Chains A and B, each alone.
Chain A
């Protein structure tokens, strides 16, 4: 049955999208809208009643979904955009952007409502330009296999051989892929949820570029040097800062050195002897291979928490290993950019 009212659409969005997000984020949504609850069942009940009594409106939920769904738990690629392109007059004028969108053949998704669909293939569902951000969004009803040992079968004889069957349960989820361009900062970023080692990851990147190219040509983008970012971030955190390196591997001239903390949630800089050894590594003589940085997601931009962020120098990728809000992700990216 088609959705007819905002309240019904809000409930559908709450049921299908909101409840699949992290609990701390749902609590944040409910905190200002009445009762919170502790379990997903509580959340579902409280979301419904908040929608019924009008304290939670469709617009609130859509805004929240934009801010929370698909941010974090993803791979990020960062690019510097050429100044000449970023400073073009069209980025300061909404009608010029609309025209460019039309020319690029993307008018059908321009300013679309927050998608509720779970398309089978990764599909461009929304393109918008708000607050100086050009944002592309794709959605896909992804599914993946989760190991389910309780459904394993005991080894059994088949013919002359013994076979063992390990069980995997299929789990569905809605994946969100994004590309964002910020002309004022001359920076662009891609947010890809699929695992980096799969073919789906490369396919998603290609699909993204195919759609984006009409508005933000690939030749205008130069990849951010993640290897350099690793060594500079690691240098910067040797003094007290908002982030700490849990592990880092630096290499140069055919050899590498690795520093790491063995205590979860702590950086190696907290151990004086190891920090002093790290200080003996001359800046500029090494580049970063990999690093795990502990980043404090700021409370003013979402739930405050410590997040592990992994950097892959050779692949030019950043992996955010926890859910965050859009603002928190950009605080992180801005911090990385400012230091490097």
Chain B
């Protein structure tokens, strides 16, 4: 049982469970919480006396603070301690004597929890990986559209099905530049939005590589490039990738690296793609304590490269982890960290990476050659049949 569970068990002992559950659900949400016993009783379906007992016990266990709100019986305006200290017996707001409307100022007991407010999601960019057209993007977009109670714009970024292209540096750079320019264009369209122009980004696999390198870029044409919070899935960025610099330059607010411990592709990425690595299998290298707030690693035991998108999983991980990461205040984010940070990552020997890269390229080239040969032979066969 966690410390939190123990504290709630202490609150609940001998009291209305419905009241306790309702209060706990309210306190699970970030931000200000303030209510009276009557309000709790009304929503939880318990008696006001029971609600009061639960709230008073929450005060003694340190979950809530008790405050007495004093209001004018004539105009209901809240009276400050200074207003009351004047002892004039007159409301400074409506200039009526308290005795004109009753025996004196009215007192109501409130129970409060002051906490940092949560965050509203501005708009979301969803970025798929290589060798896929990202069928999961549609499902995720639906989840985002239906869980906020308001319309959160989602842009599904497609760059086509890339296979061999990721092996070529110029192709990766070209794709990265196009992504960065698209984000800047879209942000420009939302410049005057109430929540600002920066999108939150959910990226998978090669999408994480492109996003990371776009944000780390020092290209002056991308000077305005910046995003909000970033969720990385099946990341193939190097574990040593400096998110710290990206955050320090104001290009991203916080990063959640949600990784599967059985992600084979993230593990192999570093061998075949230059400047890639297995952060989607083992997390990023350890960071200083004060940076833990903005770079969160969270493991998902047994998850493979695309397990997050399986129908049985996506809703759960979205609600339990990604949505929390996108909406909770920065100070609460370290609570999402899970799994131990491994020792600093070292890239595989250059020779090994070169060999793997050449082999991968040769393999792909062989496949392409085979397909091309089959096509040519097939055409010749078709032509010969036609001539006969």
Q: Which residues of A contact B (CB under 8 A)?
A: 145-150, 152, 166, 235-236, 238-239, 261-264, 266, 269-273, 275-277, 279-280, 283
Q: Which residues of B contact A (CB under 8 A)?
A: 29-34, 69, 78, 80, 88-90, 95-100, 110, 112, 117-118, 120, 148-151, 194-196, 327
A264:B327 contact, CB within 8 angstroms: no
Kindly state the separation between the CA atoms of A179 and B131 in the bound complex, as whole angstroms: 69
CB distance from A33 to the nearest CB of B (A): 25
**Residue among B32, B78, B95 with the most chain A CB within 10 A?**
B32
* Known A-B contacts A147-B96, A166-B97, A283-B194; A275 and B69 likewise in contact (beta carbons under 8 Å): no
Contact status A239-B95, CB under 8 Å = no
Q: With A146-B90, A149-B89 given, is the CB distance from A266 to B95 under 8 Å? A: no
Q: Are A272 and B95 in contact (CB under 8 A)?
A: no
A-B contact pairs, 19 of them (CB 8 A): A145-B95, A149-B97, A149-B100, A152-B97, A166-B97, A235-B194, A236-B194, A238-B195, A264-B69, A266-B32, A266-B34, A270-B117, A271-B117, A272-B29, A272-B120, A273-B29, A273-B149, A276-B148, A279-B194
CB A248 to nearest CB in B, in angstroms, measures 14
Given contacts A263-B32, A273-B29, 15 further A-B contacts (CB under 8 A): A146-B88, A146-B95, A147-B96, A147-B97, A149-B90, A150-B89, A238-B120, A238-B195, A266-B34, A270-B32, A271-B31, A271-B33, A272-B29, A276-B149, A277-B150
> By the criterion CB–CB under 8 Å, are B195 and A239 in contact?
yes
- Of B34, B90, B120, which contacts A148 at CB under 8 A? B90
Taking the closest CB of chain A, its distance from the CB of B96, in whole angstroms, is: 6
> A146 to B93, alpha carbons, bound, how many Å?
11
Question: Smallest CB–CB gap between B159 and chain A, Å?
Answer: 30
Residues of chain B within 8 A of A279, CB atoms compared: 120, 150, 194-195
The distance in angstroms between the C-alpha atoms of A283 and B192, with both chains bound, is 10
Shortest distance between the CB of A240 and any CB in chain B (Å):
8
Q: Kindly state the separation between the CA atoms of A269 and B118 in the bound complex, as whole angstroms.
A: 9
Report whether B150 and A280 are in contact in the complex, using a CB–CB cutoff of 8 Å.
yes
On whether the beta carbons of B195 and A263 are closer than 8 Å, the reply is no
Nearest Cβ on chain B to A73's Cβ, whole angstroms = 11
Q: Shortest Cβ distance from A280 into chain B, in angstroms?
A: 4
Asked whether, in the complex, the Cβ of B31 is within 8 Å of the Cβ of A270, the reply is: yes
A239 CA to B117 CA, complexed, in Å: 11
Bound Cα distance from A103 to B98, whole angstroms: 53
Distance of A277 Cα from B120 Cα, bound (Å): 11
A147 pairs with B95, CB closer than 8 A: yes
Residues of A within 8 A of B69 (CB): 264
B145 to chain A, nearest CB (A): 13
Partner of A149 from the list B34, B99, B195, B196 (CB cut-off 8 Å) is: B99
